[in-house]
Amino acid sequence: MSKYILALDQGTTSSRAILFNHEGHVHGCAQQEFRQIFSHPGWVEHDPDDIWQSQIDVARQVMQECGAAASDVAAIGITNQRETTVVWDRATGAAIGNAIVWQDRRTAGICDALREAGHAELFQRKTGLVLDAYFSGTKVKWLLDNVPGARARAERGELAFGTVDSWLISKLCGEHVTDTSNASRTLMFNIHTLAWDDELLALLDIPRSMLPRVVASSEVVGHTHAALFGQPLPIAGIAGDQQAATFGQACMRSGMAKNTYGTGCFMLMNTGADAITSHNNLVTTVGWTSGNGGRADTTYMLEGSVFMAGAIVQWLRDGLGIIQSSAEVEALAASVPDTDGVVFVPAFAGLGAPHWDAYARGTIVGMTRGTTKAHIARAALASIAYQTVDILSAMQNDSAIQLEELRVDGGASRNDLLMQFQADVLGVPVIRPVVTETTALGAAYLAGIAVGFWRSQQEVAAQWRMERRFEPNMGNDERAQRLRQWHRAVERSRAWVE
């Protein structure tokens, strides 16, 4: 009997591979960072070959380090940075250029033109998304318009588009597929019919022949080439990173919510079978699809996306040099009792939900001669919590659901100072699970259920365990005053780029 599920967690700054045992515990983990490419202001790119090579390297590494043979692995689950866009040659498998990363803002002008032409409501109604450079569709259009010969090759059916899940699967087993959760992030997928939409494709001028086949999040979609691991392994789970984290957090009932503190910050609330239209600048997205892959098997989510969360700490380290490692930020921030009036709005890549301002830029206000690097570090952590409050407020207005608790995960969720401040400014308990690798765990669960490693969603939900609960202890007046100050600073960051 197989002992493990292998989860491939392909993130924005690193690729990881984790072996999970039947209890949902981490048996082994390997991680490798890869290059970030910033060739122009507002542009963020990856080399698709770096993505693939780092991911296959860590997959082999974790199996070798754990002494796991291919026969010990029941299935592979894949979770990935979403919206990041790759276009490749079907015949050679070679990418036609760098991947355009979800953080990239180069297509803001394309979004403006579509909005000015009156198409925003159509895109939201069909896809659940706002017209923003964050999503994949305008990135594909940009590549076709700007890579020499790309559009003609696409029209001849020679090119394939995919988000990172599709790119990895094409390398692992030769299939061209994506799941509903990733498809729902492209601006080309109708989340109500669960199909690519010809009207939207026409507006974006993207040939349908480029698009992958859409599959359920939990089903066997192919088997890896035998040479990769010694024998073929089934690929049985696929989900975008935030949907996978929601599944891994066992937020399987309507009204449950989680927040992931990764490179960005992503809050998702389960709304069950209802695709609730947001009137507060959130997005409606597919959470996951199981069973036969139809609408009855689909769980929907409301989501708010913050572009800069853990990436702020990286900037303190690499950009300012005020810490030597990310782990130092908590002690530095805790060395002062508060921010001394400093407010940091980390709009380095514009503002995400609920503002959607592609032209906002990073701002630090309230500094005096007494401001130190500790105050800036504390303000940086506070900004992550404040952005989450803005999203929760919008989410509660859309859903009419009052959140009772927030489950948290991701690297920065291990920062106790941040989690306590998050509970304080949210006014609800923040709960951290024993297993914080919930993104990879969700992909493992989706794959494991598909091959019978676990029997049901109920079985995996029963494995969830709390590690620590942070209770809010800030008064209502202080909370309101801090949020007012935050919103004043946000206004000063907006529409900065002319």
Q: In a 10 Å sphere around its CB, with 0-12 CB exposed, 13-18 middle and 19+ buried, how is residue 272 labelled?
A: middle
Asked if residue 301 lies in contact with residue 353, where contact means CB atoms within 8 angstroms, the answer is: no
SS3 content of the chain, % helix, strand, coil (to 5): 40, 25, 35
* Stretch (H or E) spanning 176: none
295: annotated binding-site residue?
no
Is 14 a known ligand-binding residue? yes
Annotated binding-site residue? 134: yes
- Residue 480 in tokens: 């309101």
Is residue 472 within 8 Å of residue 426, measured between CB atoms? yes
Annotated binding residue 82: yes
**Cβ(107)–Cβ(64) under 8 Å?**
no
Which residue type occupies 122? L
Residue 217 assigned ligand-binding role: no
Residue 298 assigned to a binding site: no
Please indicate if the annotation marks 170 as binding a ligand. Answer: no
Alpha-carbon torsion, ordered 249, 312, 182, 95, to 10 deg: -140
Task: State the DSSP string of 345-359.
Answer: E--BTBB-TTT-BTT
For 204, the token pair is: 């974006």
Q: Are 363 and 351 in contact (CB under 8 A)?
A: no
Cβ atoms of residues 101 and 44 within 8 Å: yes
Q: Which helix (H) or strand (E) holds 253?
A: none
410 is in an annotated binding site: no
354 prior amide bond cis, ω within 30: yes
The response to whether 303 counts as a known ligand-binding position is: no
Annotation-wise, does 16 bind a ligand?
A: yes
Tokens of 445: 């669960």
Is 292 annotated as a binding-site member?
Answer: no
Judge whether 383 is annotated as a binding position. no
Tokens of 107: 């297509």
Distance, CA of 408 to CA of 87 (rounded, Å): 33
Write out the DSSP string of 1-37: ---EEEEEEE-SSEEEEEEE-TTS-EEEEEEEE---B
d(CA 207, CA 161): 10
| Side chain identity, residue 129 | L
- Helix H, strand E, coil C: the string for 272-299 is ECCCCCCCCCCEEEEEEECCCCCHHHEE
Rounded to whole angstroms, the Cα distance separating 61 from 56 reads: 8
CA–CA separation, 212 and 460 (whole Å): 29
Residues 27 and 25: their CA atoms lie apart, in Å, by: 6
Q: Is 83 annotated as a binding residue?
A: yes
For residue 262, give the amino acid letter: G
Is 13 annotated to bind a ligand? Reply is: yes
Please give the annotated binding residues for ATP, written as ranges. Answer: 12-14, 263, 310, 314, 411
Output the known binding site for glycerol: 82-83, 134, 241-242
Which positions make up the binding site for ADP?
12, 16, 263, 310, 411, 415
Summarize the annotated binding site as residue ranges: 12-14, 16, 82-83, 134, 241-242, 263, 310, 314, 411, 415
